[in-house]
Structure 1
């Protein structure tokens, strides 16, 4: 497996969805000097109750504001084409663009149908399915902050995604267990 080395000073990320987790991820990546583009269709979501670990994450994120390249587009992602070192993203209304990493804070195009993406996986081939991690854990800010932390800790996105999933999965298991009870 090829390793995609991440050099955050020149790395680019597309965050699909201006959800609370999407914006938190964008803010946190921008703070680590990533070039971040946020895709937002202008749909406003219901307020999210922020408690427990998410409340602590919100305080950390808000304490360190950072300039954010935020772009609202009416375009939609029509396809993701992961390559060896990043993802080419096809849009419905303009030319394809290349990003080191794509973070799906809401379902985007056919991301979950990438070849080999297992149901229990939240990431593959430079694409993070943040919306699934949030759904499974119920912790939008923690999931977002841990994802960005992973890129600070690990030199490539394969190791970053593996660390992110390993660190966050126990919360999904705990949540599933408490829902069953």
Structure 2
């Protein structure tokens, strides 16, 4: 059996999907930093599959390194091994993966990042997957599950997208009817 990939993760956004991702990664022994501006959010209704995901996540009391910064991510520089993150008010930091839980930083401007893609080069655009599926907790839980199943982030991101895509298609079909 493959050993789960663990490392350092930056989760940008402390909304429901960001915190769920952070909690789930922490459970798998990732070192997690959550970055948020501390902006109050509206309550998110938890229904359907997300209700089951919430029950599973609530049973996971793990320490979480949570920083509330008023800084902004100004650029992401992926390389073969991870991502160097530039901030507007302090030194650059390096992470194995970056999870954008809300439209943030310069992730949209990475070269070759297609609109239909939810991940690329150690960066997961979780907010886009949530927008396309309407399942914030399930998308977050599956993302972290992917890292428990696969040794490297390329395989993990591919599995996550493949597993979650049918929910996006079904949701789009439901809206048309």
TM-score normalised per structure 1: 0.95
> Gaps spanning 5+ residues in structure 2: where?
none
**Alignment deviations for residues 115-157 of structure 1 (CA, whole Å, 9 cap, x no partner):** 1111110000000000000000000000000000000000000
Tell me how far apart the structure 2 counterparts of residues 61 and 21 of structure 1 sit (CA, whole Å). 11
RMSD (Å), alpha carbons: 1.1
> Which residue number corresponds to residue 32 of structure 2?
36
SS at match of 1:88: strand
Check 1:153–1:6 CA distance in 2 against 1; reply closer, same or farther (3 A cut): closer
SS at match of 1:45: coil
> Gaps spanning 5+ residues in structure 1: where?
none
SS at match of 1:89: strand
Q: Does 1:109 align with 2:137?
A: no
**Alignment deviations for residues 24-44 of structure 1 (CA, whole Å, 9 cap, x no partner):** 000000010000000010011
Residue 59 (structure 1) shift: 0.2
Q: Does 1:119 align with 2:115?
A: yes
**Contact 2:4/2:148 (8 A) holds in 1:** no
**Runs ≥4 in structure 1, deviation > 4 angstroms?**
none
**Contact 1:6/1:157 (8 A) holds in 2:** no
Residue 6 (structure 1) shift: 7.0
Residue 107 (structure 1) shift: 1.0
SS at match of 1:57: helix
Count of paired positions: 175
TM-score normalised per structure 2: 0.97
